[in-house]
Amino acid sequence: MLIMPGGYVPIDYLPVLIFMVIASAFGLGALLVGSIFRPRRPYPEKLMPYESGNPPVGEPRYRFSIKFYIIAMLFVVFDVETVFLYPWAVVFDKIGLYAFVEMMIFIAILLVGYVYAWKKEAFKWD
């Protein structure tokens, strides 16, 4: 990190910034170069969605199943639980048994929800 006269600049994250700039410049540059050099002669058959030569059938935006939602919702909740585990793992050796017990209580409470979702067959795909 770097404290400049004007304030704080997260200089450690400069590689991340360079990575993101190069990545987005590569993507945008490829699209830009393509749009400059490719010939552009559209006609209706060409603009049609490609379905291996057949005319397209049905709507492109069909409705997703609710099963995706259940999985994503469980992912959100347990993602937050995992996020709580990161600082716990880092400070575990400094706090000791106290931290262990409180995290076990935390996980036990969430385990109740996990068992509930399991019993309600939220993990079953069919």
Partner 1 sequence: MVPLEWYIWLATAVFAIGVAGFLTRRNIIIMFMSIELMLNAVNISLISFSYYLQDLRGHILSFFVITVAAAEAAIGLAIIISLFRNKATVHADEMNEMKG
Partner 2 sequence: MLPQVLFLYFAFAIVALSLAVITRKNPVHSVIFMLVLFFHIAALYLTLNAEFLAAIQIIVYAGAILVLFLFVVLMLNLKEEVTEHRYISLWAVGVLLSIAISAIFLMTLSSIPLGAKGVFSPDVIASETHTVALGKLLYTEFLYPFEIASVILLVAIVGAVVLAKKRLKS
Pick from 40, 49, 94, 97 the residue near partner 2 by CB under 8 A. 94
Quote the CA–CA distance of 38 and 30 in Å, as a whole number: 12
Stretch that binds partner 2, among 33-41, 48-56, 107-115 (CB under 8 A): 107-115
Stretch that binds partner 1, among 12-20, 22-30, 34-42, 68-76 (CB under 8 A): 68-76
Residues listed for the chain: 126
Nearer to partner 1, 5 or 42 (CB): 5
Q: Which residues pair with residue 57 across a beta bridge? A: none
Q: Which residues pair with residue 8 across a beta bridge? A: 3
Pick from 30, 77, 89, 101 the residue near partner 1 by CB under 8 A. 77
The two three-digit tokens of residue 78, written as one number? 């347990």
Quote the CA–CA distance of 116 and 120 in Å, as a whole number: 6
* Residue ranges in the chain assigned as alpha helix (H): 14-37, 44-47, 66-95, 97-119
Comparing C-alpha atoms, which of 33, 14, 11, 34 is closest to residue 22? 14
Asked if residue 59 binds partner 2 (CB under 8 A), the reply is: yes
List residues near partner 1 by CB under 8 A: 6-8, 66, 69, 73, 76-77, 79-80, 84
List residues near partner 2 by CB under 8 A: 1, 3-4, 6-10, 13, 59, 61-70, 72-77, 79-81, 83-84, 86-88, 90-91, 94-95, 98-99, 102-103, 105-107, 109-110, 112-114, 116-117, 120-122
